[in-house]
Amino acid sequence: MAPLAAAPEEAIAPVRPTSASAVLTTSSPSLARANVLRGGDALATMILTYALPLLVLTSTGSTMLTGLVFAAEWMPRLGALAGGGALVDRYGAARLFRTANAARALLTVLAIPVLSTHSPHSATAIGAVVVLGAACGGLAELSFLSAETTGAGLSLRAGPQAHRIQAWQIGIDQGAMLVGPLLGGLLLLAGGRTMLTAVAALSVTAMLVHPAPAFRPGPAATATTAGLRTGWRTLRTLPALGVLVAGLAASNFASGLLQASAPITVTHTFDRHPATVGVIWSAAAAAMLAATALCRRLIDRFGLWPIGATAAAFASVACMAAALAPALPLYTVLVALLMAAEGVMGVVLRTMRVHLIPAHAFGSTLSVTVLLVVAPMPAAGLLVAAVPAPLLPGLVACCALLQATALALCFVGLRHHMVSAPRTSSSKEPAHP
């Protein structure tokens, strides 16, 4: 695997496919299957992520419980990420993906009778929502690791089209983000049972799609601790990957805080109906989807680093401005600009990450990097639960400054490694199915 390219004007030296016939195109049947399974899984995850806190807020009116539900959804994801990479390396992405979606479908079906027989604001119903969010949050990360590993395998086989494959994958995630919040809000109008039934159906659909394996399961990690050790060891030996992960983590913290506080901002600051939150995030996802599609041509022309650095600057400015927005229309536009910039930045950094992580330990290393990147999300939920609503704008603004600093250091570090890292042809090629 080649490191970041030696010349400033080059982005990344792509991993060469083993033969000309191995080059994957965006019309490949393997990519089509990967897109279908990722789409169903991502849509189910987005519906739960946005609908469960909204269900608690509309049922109880408590901002503290809303923040706690958001944190409860994210904290188990850290544990799932800790062991998920080892499971991917050992059992394969396809098997783990199907298992995680089957378990989520079962849990949502089991939760339906509880919501049917108890009042939405009862302790039993709220407890069931918290437990369901926690369990499905962990399962979502297992399915995400599996889908991401499948996408990484396709990217490595795509050679110089790697960033286009990543753009397709991120586009699917953002398409789910576009439809998920709005669909979740509409389903909640029909009741929590209807929403859970839809999530179960999407999980079953994703489970029934059988993608081509990304990498062959191997002995790189036979236990959770072994997988974590492998991932940490790989991360420590790759400085460029370290600065990339630090930048993504700081950006996630700022956007996660904005996401967790959005229901409170909309209802308390702007005095609008909670369903407006779904409209805001759907509009943001539409902007992100359009930016992700456009960035493929921009990267082809200008390279990964310039486009990524520009997107990082826009993301930081938009996050700061959204925190201080005086009216809902401006807030909506700024959130859309933030998400569009993060979508472009995601394409850039995830393409770099695919080429930096060795194929023989991809699952374990990806697990550690994603663990570090999503760790700020539950912290964001706990902060929202602890901080009074009037102080949230100032908190988001401070975190936007942290985001700007971290992203600046990230892209300066990546630029340094792009200039100084020598090319190598001795890295291992990925194992193709």
**pTM across the whole model:** 0.63
Interior angle at CA 5, CA 214 and CA 413, nearest 5? 100
In 3D space, the residue among 53, 228, 258 whose CA is nearest the CA of residue 137 turns out to be 53
pLDDT of 96 higher than 60: yes
The closest alpha carbon to 369, from 82, 38, 112, 69, belongs to 82
- Report which of 214, 147, 237 is spatially closest to residue 430, judged by C-alpha positions: 214
Instruction: Give the contacts of 27 (CB within 8 A, at least 6 positions apart).
Output: none
Q: Tokens for 139, please give them.
A: 């399962």
Q: Alpha helices of 209-275 — where are they, by DSSP H?
A: 224-236, 239-264
Alpha helix positions (H), 61-161: 63-91, 93-117, 123-158
pLDDT per residue as tens digits for the range 23-76: 445 445 666 777 777 888 889 988 888 788 777 777 677 767 777 777 777 778
Least confident range from 135-144, 216-225, 302-311: namely 216-225
**Residue 425: pLDDT over 50:** no
Contact 389/67 with Cβ under 8 angstroms? no
What are 381-396's pLDDT values in tens digits? 788 878 888 888 888 8
Following CA atoms 336, 339, 344, 350 in sequence, which dihedral angle do they give, to the nearest 10 degrees?
Answer: -170
Cβ-based burial of 3 (10 A; exposed 0-12, middle 13-18, buried ≥19): buried
Q: What is the mean pLDDT of residues 246-251?
A: 87
Query: Higher model confidence: residue 163 or residue 184?
Result: 184
Instruction: Name the pLDDT band for 354 (thresholds 50, 70, 90).
Output: confident
At residue 162, the pLDDT reads 64
Of the listed ranges 92-106, 205-219, 250-264, 322-336, the least confidently predicted one is: 205-219
Q: Contact 81/141 with Cβ under 8 angstroms?
A: yes
Q: Is the pLDDT of residue 349 over 80?
A: yes
Paired tokens of 247:
């930048």
Concatenated DSSP letters of 66-82? HHHHHHHHHHHHHHHHH
What pLDDT does residue 210 have?
60
Contact of 69 with 206, CB cutoff 8 Å? no
CB atoms within 10 A of CB 64: 11
Q: Over range 194-222, report the average pLDDT.
A: 71
Residue reference for tokens 């909506």:
332
